Amino acid sequence: MANQLDQFFAALADPTRRAVVERLLDGPAAVGVLHAEHDMALPTFLRHLKVLQRSGLVTSTKVGRVRTVEMQPDALAQAAGWFDAHRSMWERRMDRLAYLAEHMERTRT
C-alpha cells in the first residue's frame, strides 16, 4: 500500500495531472477532449495519462479509435483513509497540547 500511496501522491504532484483528475471528477472523457484543454504536445500529455494510470487514479478503455479515461474511486478512497488516520493522530496530539497549555495557564495564575 505504501508504494501505491507514493505513486498516488507523485501523480498528483504535477498541476497538469491534477487538472486532469479534477476534470474527470465530472465523468469519463475521451483523450482528445482532455488533451484539448492543455497546451502541450499529445505525446507529452499521454505520458501524464500513463503516470495517472500507473498510480491507479484512472483507467482507460478503447472503443474503435476513441480512448476514454475515467477515475478510479478506490484510489481516492485509499488516500482518504491515509489522511483520516493521520488527521486522527494529529487531532489527538493537538487536544493533548491544548490541555497542557490550559493546565499551565491555570497553574501560572
Amino acid (one-letter) located at 87: R
Q: Residue 102 is placed in which grid cell?
A: 490550559
CATH topology of domain 2-108: Arc Repressor Mutant, subunit A (1.10.10)
Model pTM score: 0.74
Closest Cα to residue 18, out of 34, 32, 2?
A: 34
**61 backbone dihedrals φ, ψ, rounded to 5°:** -130, 150
CA–CA gap between residue 92 and residue 28 (Å, rounded) = 39
**Domain locations in the chain as residue ranges:** 2-108
pLDDT tens, per residue, the chain with 109 residues: 568 888 889 999 999 999 999 999 999 999 999 999 999 999 999 999 999 999 999 999 999 999 999 999 888 888 888 888 888 888 888 889 988 898 888 888 6
Encode 34-61: b = buried (16+ Cβ within 10 Å), e = exposed: bbeeeeeeeeebeebbebbeebbbbeee
